Amino acid sequence: MKRRLRIQIDGMTCTDCEHHVTTALEGVGATDVHASFRRGEALVTVSDDAETEALLAAVAASGYRPRAIHPVTDPPSPQHGRSPRRSKGPSPYDLAIVGSGGAAFASAIRARDAGASVVMIERGTIGGTCVNIGCVPSKTLLRAAEIHHLAQTNPFTGLNTAAGPARWDAIIAQKDALVSELRQHKYEDLVTDYGWELVHGEAAFADASTLHVGDRSIAAKAFLIATGARPAVPSIPGLAEAGYLTSTTALELRHVPESIAVIGSGYIALELGQLFAHLGSKVTLMQRSPKLLKTFDPEISEAVSGVLADEGIEQLTEVQYLRVEGGPQGRRIHLTVAGRARVVEASAILVATGRQPNTEALHLEAAGVRADPRRAVLVDAELRTNVPHILGAGDVTLGPQFVYVAAYEGAIAADNALGAHRPVDLGVVPSVTFTSPAIATVGLTEAQAKQAGYDVKTSVLPMSAVPRALVNHDTRGVFKLVADAASNVVLGAHIVADNAGDAIYAATLAVKFHLTVTDLTETMAPYLTMAEGLKLTAQTFGRDVNKLSCCAG
């Protein structure tokens, strides 16, 4: 007798990796092996008496990290009194979800809470980008790199700290363990807890009412496309041949590059560029625009650029890429900087130039679903495509690329799939870039407010006026508020500061609920918190806060 198994594997990044894993598994008796680096798994057929430990050992010996082995069967029965309602024969599911990330899970939970029958289809590792290859792994590595950097550069005269070489392999192993734990508790366990069906495989529309997954047809009354996005790669001659890293593969490196050139200047470029700089890499950021963070207020861009420059990160602007050459000694990027020819040499290249929707395999045309030229799913205010019972949510729509936006949209999509007509409201979306210090913004920039017709007034507060920054001996950064001069309503808040991501939530509430500058000045802010900077910036509209005592109202 034979059985079919799925082995979840971390560390595969290319087709060569697939070949190595396949060869290793065949060497211990597995047959019909199908390894996929995109899905992070290998499907194998083995005899009933085959030892799974031998399979795991073979994968490990080939240089990759096996996480778990699962039989290819239907999911287990649910707990907590919920019973799965599955489609049998002609009876369709209430909702079929393609994808298993933040949008997909929020949608499935909302639909199951409403008593709907739900099926979720995932072609790769459950959990999507955030927990597996995005937010969770990147932020834990950023924190590790920040601590390493602080040990070398702490600002207190009475402390003697130092940092030896970072054991990057151990840091990566700890990161992998955290990812595995959160994926289990926040994703895999919930499938059982809520009782929906999880189907592994590549989904493709047969028509507007049916999906094909392998040899199975899945009918549903409504569908949610929540397949996310992946790193986009620019068309630069020689780049593919020379080889490059993305935000995914950079987090799987087994060593820290001696030098790294970053193509792009968005939040991923800044976070990962600073991460490797903090670990000792020589980092060069390259961007086509004339300034860093081109859509941000100039005070924010200048503050961040200054921090990076002080840390030795080179920033090239007005770049045009000509070609890339690769060789045993590294990579050479031929480009122009403001029209002047230059060559940038680096051990590795990191591509951080945006995201590409994962829709190629879906056969959207078979369902009549329209997409834009980048293959992003086009949706209306209710997240419906041009086929009303097919909806889209999260990164696949190329809206704001944040997991909290995806989860918000997923829940609304579930309501609308089940008959509601709730519009999404993305008018007030906070964003955080987890550099050190962090960058956090919400609402309108000064330029956007003027373009919208407001009579704008602004207040800019240097970190040297924020008591928390003074006691930290770290006054890098700035606070800026944008307000309507006529009504005094706060239109936007923009921060570069330690813990800016925590402080921005109060500003988000201020913008969302149309609070005024006076509301901020008349609300108590805890002393020696970074959030106090919001109140101080509001006070700066009318007075010099340097002439206030501590905690002065």
> Which residues have a catalytic role annotated?
12, 14, 17, 64, 130, 135, 550-551
Cα 137 from chain centre: 10
Contact criterion met (CB below 8 Å) for 431 and 400 = yes
**Structure tokens belonging to residue 179:** 């990812």
Helix (H) or strand (E) holding 315: strand 314-316
Distance CA 130, CA 394 (A): 12
Category of 386 on φ-ψ map: left (φ > 0), alpha (ψ -120 to 50) or beta? alpha
Please give the single-letter amino acid code of residue 218: I
Exposed / middle / buried, residue 284 (Cβ in 10 Å: 0-12, 13-18, 19+): buried
d(CA 522, CA 538): 10
Read off the amino acid at residue 167. Answer: R
In this structure, are residues 471 and 321 in contact, taking their beta carbons and an 8 Å threshold? Answer: no
Amino acid letter for position 371: A
User: For residues 171 and 145, what is the distance between their CA atoms, to the nearest angstrom?
Assistant: 10
Do 170 and 141 contact (CB within 8 A), yes or no? no
Q: Where are the alpha helices (DSSP H) in 328-445?
A: 364-367, 403-417
d(CA 243, CA 250): 12
Q: Using alpha carbons only, how large is the chain's radius of gyration in Å?
A: 25
The helix/strand/coil state of 483 is strand
| CB-based contact 117:84 (threshold 8 Å) | yes
Which residues does 430 contact at the CB level (< 8 Å), separation at least 6?
Answer: 440, 441, 442, 504, 505, 507, 508
The candidate with the shortest Cα–Cα distance to 359, out of 350, 349, 367, is: 367
CA distance to 15, 17, 28, per residue, from 12 (Å):
8, 5, 19
